[in-house]
A and B are shown apart, each in its own frame.
Chain A
Amino acid sequence: MKDSIISVTDVKRTYKTETGYIKKKRRQVDALKGITFSVEKGEIFGLLGPNGAGKTTMIKILTTMLTPTSGKVSILGFNPVTEMNSLRPHINFILGGERNLYWRLSAYDNLAYFADLYKLPRHEQKQTIDDLLELVGLTDVAHQRVETFSKGMKQRLQIARGLVNNPEILFLDEPSIGLDPVSARKLREIIQHLNGKGTTILLTTHYMFEADELCDRIAFIDKGEIVDIDSPENIKQKTDNVSIIAFTVIGVNMEKLNELSRLPNVQHVQSSKQDYLTTIKLHTRSPQSIVPLIYDTMPGFVIQDLTITKPSLEDVYVQLIGGKVL
């Protein structure tokens, strides 16, 4: 058993909001409804879930920016609510998007700025900053203002910023949001490189393949609750005997989709529309018997590109979040 360096026990967080001045409307949002998990030293741990699932709320709690309404959190042995001053030097975090940098400063000055805020000894700063710029491939533009940078360059500078204090744990909230595929891949390489050097990483994402490629373990989170925690392999194995039948048709309606979902042994139906083509995916354990039934159900439709495959992590995700756990 390795050491848990993050442990979260039954954490809840509610937001109370008030709108309107005269007739106040009070509303309560239960963003986290009792979350429990732990992360071991050296892991890459992913929080995966749709928008509004509570991922950012969880990251904010872990990085001392928000307190839980109830429950227990321990990070590196510190309580982030009461011992934030002891904890902060050991962790850092990166938020997705292009903001969160000083656009009028150079890349180098951005890092120097935060190196000071993390009280890095001055004689170490130059070396550290040069190394970080090298790591994220920004050495050539070190002294250019950030406002001249592309999205991908800004995002890489954010990573460097998140590393100025050589954190033991790095938190990333949707790090690859809005990145082009090349930058996103570069980002994943950097994350893997850091992890190789021993940094524990906790990231949130709603991109399945990213979680699949990077994470040692994944927690699926939906509506403030954890639906499942496991390694990507194990999660995929839970759907061991399940196959995915995928095909495209033109002009299908809800009624037909419902009809398909009522077929025997079909566990889940997904559909996504692109232009006039609809891609339909059926989750089933007996694909051979289902295929003919599909043709029977949809007379007159042109069924194209029918394939039978093993589920991807994305398919599992849809199944879990869709509420029909196996």
Chain B
Amino acid sequence: MEGILRFARHSFLSYKALFGWLDPKVYILVMVMNPISQILFFAVLVNYVYDGDDLVGYIGANALILCVLNSVFGIMSIITSDRRMGTLQLVMATPVNKIGLFLSRSLAHVLNGLFTSVLGLIFGMVIFQITIPLEAILPLMTVWMVSIFAACGLGLIIGCFSLWTPSMHLLANLLASSLLLLSGANYPQNIMPDWLLSFADFVPLTKGVELTKQLLNEGNYSNVIPLLSAEFILGICYFVISFLFLKYAEHLSRVKGTMDLD
């Protein structure tokens, strides 16, 4: 119990300390207005291009993609901000288990990402006067949760890179736009060239977007289990890789002295 409470509080306080958008005014500006304008843009575009075909699915998929604010930029902050404030070295020298620590820091961003996506979906539904079936809600949320978790895993790897390179914003923006591109949120997946398609298999959100379209457009639930399991495993792999990077960074700092966590 104690462990769970600690995990939850760490998640919340880290979010507040490192992401810094808990101030209501800033939150509304950055975390609400920004995603809403993005979804509006893509929804109008897709509606025009496909003449309203499968609009629900595209709006759902674009809503999911909004999570990159958290799963790329938010997650990065749990390493970059911590280092900038000079607290990363303190945290690393505490007896706490570092894997649990970074997982709990990620949790807030998975939840916040889900919240942003849901907000985007509701907005899209209101503007375009569309509805989704009630029974699709629970599966959709499960799909999104897992997909956002996987995206956060990749975000954490990029966050680790920030320990090596100072030009992080470039990488982060690149990742954010690749996710938008590769996930197929704005066109049918199969129009992508083959090589890109097989690459997209290893990119988070691709399967989430596919499932979102299947659920909302076709009412097809049959692929949820296999695709979602694959997405989940992908997420686990990303997290494992990022922990290896963190361990290596700690080694460089402690043994080699060539990395400054401060």
Contact = CB atoms under 8 A, between A and B. Distances in A.
Interface-central residue, A17, A101, A104, A161, by most chain B CB under 10 Å = A104
Interface of B: 2, 5-6, 9-10, 13-14, 16-18, 20, 85-87, 89-96, 101, 253-258
Interface residues of A, number: 33
Given A112-B13, A113-B13, A117-B96, 16 more contacts: A13-B257, A65-B92, A65-B93, A88-B95, A100-B85, A100-B89, A100-B90, A101-B87, A102-B13, A114-B90, A114-B94, A116-B9, A118-B95, A118-B96, A122-B2, A161-B90
A13 to B, nearest CB: 8
A103 B85 contact: yes
Given A15-B257, A65-B89, A109 B13 contact: yes
A121 B253 CA distance: 30
B6 A122 contact: yes
A311 interface: no
A121 B2 contact: yes
B93 A105 contact: no
Contacts of A104: 16-17, 20
7 contacts: A13-B257, A64-B93, A65-B92, A65-B253, A99-B86, A102-B18, A118-B94
Contacts of A113: 10, 13-14, 17
Interface string A257-271: 000000000000000
A105 B2 contact: no
Nearest to B5: A122
Contacts of B87: 99-102
A133 to B, nearest CB: 17
A317 interface: no
A199 B258 CA distance: 33
B94 to A, nearest CB: 4
Query: By CB atoms of chain A within 10 A, which of B16, B86, B89, B94 has the most?
Result: B94
Given A66-B254, A66-B257, A99-B86, A93 B93 contact: yes
A16 interface: yes
Contacts of B95: 85, 88-89, 117-119
A231 B257 CA distance: 33
